[in-house]
Amino acid sequence: MMRKYFIMGILMCIFGLASGGRATAQTEGLLGEYYGTVNMTELRATRIDSQVFFDWQNGSPLSGLGMDYFSICWTGFVTPVESGIYTFYLTSDDGVRLWLDETMVVNQWKGQSPTEYSASLTLEAGQPCPIRIDYYENTGGAVIKLEWEGPGQTRSAIAAEYLTPGAGIGDRLLYWHRNPHNLHYYKMIGPMTWAAGKAQAEAMGGYLTTINDAAEGQWLAELFRPVSDAAFIGANDIAEEGTWVWDQTGETFWNGLADGTPVPGFYTNWNSGEPNDSSDEDVATIYLTSGLWNDLNVARERYCIVESDIGQLNYDGPSPARTTLQLEDAYEVTVTPRQPVGTVQYQWYKDDTPIPGGTLAKLIVFQVSYEDAGLYTCQITDETPATVRTRAAELIVVKKLPALSVTGLACLATLLAVTAAMRKRA
């Protein structure tokens, strides 16, 4: 068994930045994540864009993406050579948001013909400043242009030499998102009932989110607003009507209806007139547009926000997800962790049995046999420590088809002709 698995590592090309130094040529630009929906879900492609200065008109930004109904997130850093006040200009059709130095400075997430927005910020020479642009295209023309002007810099597109790619945000419905304020991880699942969301959250090592303060609620609303208007949180009064508890700890934080009282020390953010227990409502949602809360019936289905205090790992793959091979072909399957911390360890499994020596990102099985058909998963672990068992990739093995020779084809044609002639006579 051991001999059969040849494992190859993926060459990790690290383009190191000398401390405080500029990016090397290979990494200049911003990381663009291209999504197949206007909600920044269904990640279709990532690439480094040397500039964000596009007018796709009625076309598509890349193959695999439609002409309409897509969204893009660009992340990275902008590093000026002179200190001073810089003005950033965004021209967008349709919606756009801009973050500079982790602060949202443009929030125009709406359908619109090309419209210019701007924001100014003091930058220091040689200091990378985090930048992020969210963009979506509905229908018709599609434009997104990022420009700047500042000391010794006339208004122009930000050239690649001032840009360094970031890590991206990933798919909101596939990835865990780390909150830089409390270092917890969050993921959106669903839509489903509150009870189903609770069960899945616990299976993932988390819980339906406890919103501890305004900062956490606001961060969640900004993060998941593109996906949905509202999502379930851990608040509920299932056990006792009017006694609102957080599911994670069971602690009571609110007593009564809208005219009730908060338990001292707990944060609450009910919408006006809520909770109202209208026709029996025992679980709470957060409106992602405003951050306000509402109680809802347990039978309703919504997206659910999962919070995790333990490290969580994002990954792409395994790729390909499904492979059909003939006997003796070679099988290759790869997983790609995103933004792991420190050294990453891998262990591949076939049908839940560890594969000896299957300990790198890429698994290769030379000359597959029927016994190799099955489901392949990989346990990925980093130094957070976070660990995840990936989705499964399926391998199907079929009989080796003999190559048809010219003679064989000629015989077949003759046979068919003779059969047809005999049928006609009969």
Q: Does 255 bind Ca ion (CB under 5 A)?
A: no
| 368 phi and psi angles, rounded to 5 deg | -65, 145
The least CB distance from residue 319 to Ca ion, in Å, is 32
The least CB distance from residue 196 to Ca ion, in Å, is 19
For Ca ion, the closer CB: 130 or 191: 191
The least CB distance from residue 256 to Ca ion, in Å, is 10
Q: Does 212 bind Ca ion (CB under 5 A)?
A: yes
Q: How far apart are the C-alpha atoms of 363 and 357, rounded to whole Å?
A: 9
Q: Does 92 bind Ca ion (CB under 5 A)?
A: no
The angle at the Cα of 175, spanning 62 to 200, to the nearest 5 degrees, equals 135
Q: Does 247 bind Ca ion (CB under 5 A)?
A: no
The least CB distance from residue 383 to Ca ion, in Å, is 24
Q: For Ca ion, what does the binding mask look like between residues 322 and 361, x meaning CB under 5 A?
A: ----------------------------------------
For Ca ion, the closer CB: 79 or 92: 92
Whether residue 121 contacts residue 88, with contact meaning beta carbons closer than 8 Å, is answered with yes
Among 84-92, 294-302, 336-344, 367-375, which window interacts with Ca ion (CB under 5 A)?
A: 294-302
Among 220-228, 276-284, 316-324, 334-342, which window interacts with Ca ion (CB under 5 A)?
A: 276-284
Q: Does 295 bind Ca ion (CB under 5 A)?
A: yes
The least CB distance from residue 372 to Ca ion, in Å, is 44
Q: Which residues pair with 22 in a beta bridge?
A: none
Q: How far apart are the C-alpha atoms of 272 and 275, rounded to whole Å?
A: 8
**Token pair of 36, please?**
């197949």
Please state, in angstroms and as integers, the Cα–Cα distance from residue 339 to each residue in 102, 297, 407, following that order.
18, 38, 56
Exposed, middle or buried, 63 (CB in 10 Å: 0-12/13-18/19+)? exposed
The angle at the Cα of 193, spanning 189 to 194, to the nearest 5 degrees, equals 80
For Ca ion, the closer CB: 79 or 210: 210
The one among 277, 316, 329, 332 contacting Ca ion by CB under 5 A = 277
Whether residue 90 contacts residue 162, with contact meaning beta carbons closer than 8 Å, is answered with no
The one among 26, 58, 103, 276 contacting Ca ion by CB under 5 A = 276
Q: How many residues bind Ca ion (CB under 5 A)?
A: 14
Exposed, middle or buried, 388 (CB in 10 Å: 0-12/13-18/19+)? buried
For Ca ion, the closer CB: 5 or 224: 224
Helical segments of 204-267, H only: 214-224
Pairing of strands 393-398, 322-326: parallel
Q: Does 94 bind Ca ion (CB under 5 A)?
A: yes
The least CB distance from residue 297 to Ca ion, in Å, is 9
The one among 21, 66, 140, 408 contacting Ca ion by CB under 5 A = 140
The least CB distance from residue 397 to Ca ion, in Å, is 47
For Ca ion, the closer CB: 30 or 296: 296
Q: Does 108 bind Ca ion (CB under 5 A)?
A: no
The least CB distance from residue 224 to Ca ion, in Å, is 14
Q: How far apart are the C-alpha atoms of 213 and 267, rounded to whole Å?
A: 5
Whether residue 64 contacts residue 45, with contact meaning beta carbons closer than 8 Å, is answered with yes
Whether residue 374 contacts residue 318, with contact meaning beta carbons closer than 8 Å, is answered with no
Length, in residues, of the chain? 426
Among 193-201, 230-238, 254-262, 366-374, which window interacts with Ca ion (CB under 5 A)?
A: 230-238
Tell me 195's DSSP state.
H
The one among 147, 171, 237, 247 contacting Ca ion by CB under 5 A = 237
Q: Does 210 bind Ca ion (CB under 5 A)?
A: yes
The one among 93, 134, 147, 382 contacting Ca ion by CB under 5 A = 93
Exposed, middle or buried, 330 (CB in 10 Å: 0-12/13-18/19+)? exposed
The least CB distance from residue 184 to Ca ion, in Å, is 6
Torsion, Cα 159 160 161 162, to 10 degrees, reads 70
Contacts of 401 (CB under 8 A, 6+ apart): 326
For Ca ion, the closer CB: 93 or 171: 93
Residues that bind Ca ion (CB under 5 A): 93-94, 140, 210, 212, 237, 274, 276-278, 281-282, 294-295
